Structure 1
């Protein structure tokens, strides 16, 4: 395994552990079992229906071959960079710039997956991505290199809680205070540091003083509690700076 430092919008580098060949194989194997179970279920269902030969072929293409071929593309787009196998093992596809991969990046990964694992040529199936991962510094298959993505092990990442970075990409978040962009990365890191200090010591007065100072600087009036306000400030800053 290798560690990769992914930059964020806050002049902070988050260090992740890349997913090596072995753990990615186990994730792939889980996904394979799911796909096999799906094919068996479709076969059993269709075998009980008296379709004509031509109709059966069309039905298999629509309800079996097409979903199987789109398996990774659909799951990784809708599950924030994870397939069921990746989710169970704590793996996630991330962009090399630190955020959620774009649709185009997912499409590139999917297209290269089709090229890397040619069906019907068993002895070559998997050889291309394995060779690419062995030669890659960050255990990337060819599709990852071209798409600018990386598969990371989220169970061994450095603590994001120690930074102001928060992944808002999977949330339908509605920001509250657009004036938050008047603050700098240094300002936000100081606010986060004081919040952590206040929480650790149970110093509610410090939380109140920090919150009131931020409200004063940004000319904000709100009925939110002090801690809720500061949490919202951090979330808003993440939202605006990662868009």
Structure 2
């Protein structure tokens, strides 16, 4: 699997595993099953024939009903990714997630761009396909099949051959799809081993973010490994400045170790 390495402003490298084309196709398949299931139940259990009879001759109202039925399907990926923090149901089951290429959560605008440009990724020649079909040419079948197949393959080919495995919508929105279920070591995460009886010392650690704690832990581990006491002093000072904590620990190592454990205690308890 390909990996994406992001260097933070604090010069800490964070590695993400990029989702491959097979995983993304599988997730797309799951999402399509959900869409078809919705359409089936909508048609099966809602009596649209009653509407058709009542609105017979009113073609505009009938088209409006059709549009309303298909709205949840049309906007499925957009509202799913916004509400589920970069995931659809298919992506969630496959442990995939959309993130900004700089490692942050995409904005709503980014999600809208990704959704809108599915037209290019999966339906590039739809209008041309319809136009050719309307010509009624004798040998149009082969051309129609070629247009349909190639138009649907644009996103697939881009994911396959771009460096960061991005479809056109990802490239323009500056996003990537990552695989969350990665084989990382426990020491590489922000998690700490704390017992059920653990008593926290510094409630103000909740002012830190997950990314802050990840950077603190990586820097802390590196400084301990090389006995870099200057870095430990700077790290302690920065934590005190950001959180407003009044330290009761004499050594920098003890203080930072407790901060990491306290953060885990409070965030896992919420």
TM over 0.5: yes
Q: Kindly name which structure, 1 or 2, has the bigger radius of gyration based on alpha carbons.
A: 2
In structure 1, C-alpha distance between the alignment counterparts of 2:166 and 2:158, rounded to whole Å? 7
Deviation at 1:87, TM superposition (A): 0.5
Distance of 1:80 and 1:187 partners within structure 2: 22
Q: Which residue of 2 aligns with 1:188?
A: 216
C-alpha distance in structure 2 between counterparts of 1:156 and 1:186, whole Å = 16
C-alpha separation between the residues in 1 aligned to 2:258 and 2:66? 52
**Structure 2: gaps (5+ residues):** 130-147, 192-202, 226-235, 249-254
Distance 1:102 1:180, change over 3 A: closer
Q: Which residue of 2 aligns with 1:208?
A: none
Q: Once the 2 structures are TM-superposed, how far is the Cα of residue 67 of structure 1 from its aligned partner?
A: 1.4
Q: Does 1:80 align with 2:85?
A: yes
- Root-mean-square deviation (Å): 4.1
* Higher RCO, Cα 8 Å, sep 6+: 1
- After TM superposition, the structure 1 = structure 2 runs for residues 73-112 of structure 1, keeping only pairs within 5 Å, are 73-112=78-117
25-34 vs 15-24, which deviates more?
15-24
Residues 52-92 of structure 1 show CA distances to partners (whole Å, capped at 9, x for unaligned) of 25444322212x22211111110011111110001001111
Does the 8 Å CA contact 1:16/1:158 hold for their aligned counterparts?
A: no
C-alpha spacing 1:116/1:190, structure 2 compared with 1 (3 Å) = closer
Other structure's SS at 2:50 match: coil
The alignment status of 1:50 with 2:65, answered yes or no, reads no
Q: Which residue is 1:36 aligned to?
A: 36
- The count of aligned residue pairs is 205
Give 1:186 shift: 11
Q: Is 2:7 aligned against 1:2?
A: no
Q: 1:22: Cα distance to partner?
A: 1.1
Shift of 1:126: 2.4
Whole-angstrom distance in 2 between the partners of 1:186 and 1:87: 23
Match of 1:154 among 168, 180, 200: 180
Contact 1:17-1:157 at 8 Å conserved across structures = no
Per-residue Cα deviation, 1:110-145 (whole angstroms, up to 9, x for no partner): 111123222585323421112212220121111111
Residue 181 of structure 2 aligns to a residue whose secondary structure is helix
1:235 Cα shift?
Answer: 10
Give, in whole Å, the separation in 2 of the partners of 1:191 and 1:7.
14
TM-score of the aligned structures, taking structure 2 as reference length: 0.62
* Structure 1 stretches lacking a partner, 5+ long: 166-174, 198-210, 237-243
